[in-house]
Amino acid sequence: MTENKMMRLIRRVPWAGDKLAEKLNKQPQVAVLRLSGVIGRTGGIRRGGLTLEDLADPIERAFKTPQLSAVALLVNSPGGSPVQSALIAKRIRALADEKKVPVYAFCEDVAASGGYWLACAGDEILADGASVIGSIGVVSAGFGFPALLEKIGVERRVHTAGDKKAILDPFQPENPDDIAHLKDLQRDIHDQFKRHVRDRRGDRLAADDATLFSGEFWTGNRAKELGLIDDIGDLRSVMRAKFGEKVRLRGVDGRKGWIERKFGLQAAWVDDLVGALEARVLWGRYGL
């Protein structure tokens, strides 16, 4: 009996066949962790978005893969919460350093803003030539309605303990002091983002701060010239080139919600409308 036939027979063993075959065959394994979507909590009944709460278990399982040669991150995100971006990236780096396992980040359609923050968790960053990369900045957007209230005869009544408790109220005219405070917050978060990129990319960065950290975004080809990514490439081709033709790519899935686990439903009808619209706006910035 040939080795290939034996492995096929072993894989047919219920429950443990695949794991047993991998141990006997000792093929290099790459755990593939998908980071796709808006970063931060979105949605209503069916919670969505990338958060450490939901990703902690899949990240742990990725680094516990038998015969692990590397972890690959498939990043496709227009950004979102800077806090969740930092927490997820820190957890990935902590386990990579602890296990001494290389991490490769593959940018798909978009790795922008918080999505690029996640990509920087990789020791190497790769993308398609047409991927959208960058947007290293901080944005805060909203609407103001004071004239509308006056027009329809509605009186706004706000009572606070603490004179800064109601700053940036959209139903009041903008206050220069409130804007200055918001700008200070944005600068602090932007500085943290810049430090993260510098720490992870180091001397691979090939442009000045004014270019890299302006909030602008580029194609994968241009991002490579700027040093924001290392090369153009896709998951399968790059992993086979690095670990051989027999490398096995093992997807590590996040846990589904209760409704999906119980009934196998996508339950899209229960998505929170406001959360869906916010996500649509973030994706729309990059033409998607």
Structure tokens at 70: 């590397």
CATH of domain 3-135+216-284: 3.90.226.10
- Tell me whether residue 222 is exposed, middle or buried, using C-beta atoms within 10 angstroms of its C-beta: 0 to 12, 13 to 18, 19 or more: middle
Structure tokens at 190: 């932007």
pLDDT of residue 46: 43
pLDDT of residue 142: 67
Structure tokens at 69: 């040669």
**Distance in angstroms (rounded) separating the CA atoms of residues 275 and 18:** 39
Give the Cα-Cα-Cα angle 190, 225, 109 (nearest 5 degrees).
Answer: 70
98 in helix, strand or coil? helix
Strand pairing partners for 105?
Answer: 73, 125
Strand pairing partners for 74?
Answer: 34, 106
pLDDT of residue 288: 53
Catalytic residue among 113, 131, 135, 224: 113
Residuewise pLDDT in 10s, the chain (288 residues): 554 566 567 667 776 666 666 665 678 999 999 999 999 986 544 456 899 999 999 999 999 999 999 999 999 999 999 999 999 999 999 999 999 999 999 999 999 999 999 999 999 999 999 999 999 988 877 677 777 767 788 777 777 788 777 777 777 778 888 888 888 988 999 999 999 999 999 999 999 999 999 999 999 999 999 999 999 999 999 999 999 999 999 999 765 444 444 444 444 444 455 455 656 666 666 555
| 95: CB partners within 8 A, 6+ apart | 59, 60, 63, 101
Structure tokens at 252: 């590590």
Catalytic residue among 23, 26, 164, 165: 165
DSSP per residue over 108-125, as a string?
EEEEETHHHHHHTTSSEE
Helix or strand run (H / E) with residue 218: strand 217-219
Please report where in the chains the tokens 């602008």 appear, as a residue: 216
| 120: CB partners within 8 A, 6+ apart | 89, 105, 196, 197, 200, 201
Q: Does the active-site annotation cover 36?
A: no
Q: Where along the chain do its domains lie?
A: 3-135+216-284, 137-204
C-beta of residue 168 within 8 angstroms of C-beta of residue 160:
no
Q: How many CB atoms lie within 10 A of CB 70?
A: 23
pTM here is 0.79
Q: What are the residue ranges of helices labelled H in 12-109?
A: 17-25, 52-63, 82-99
pLDDT of residue 160: 79
Strand pairing partners for 104?
Answer: 72, 124
**Distance in angstroms (rounded) separating the CA atoms of residues 217 and 136:** 8
Structure tokens at 160: 């606070």
pLDDT of residue 58: 97
Q: Does the active-site annotation cover 256?
A: no
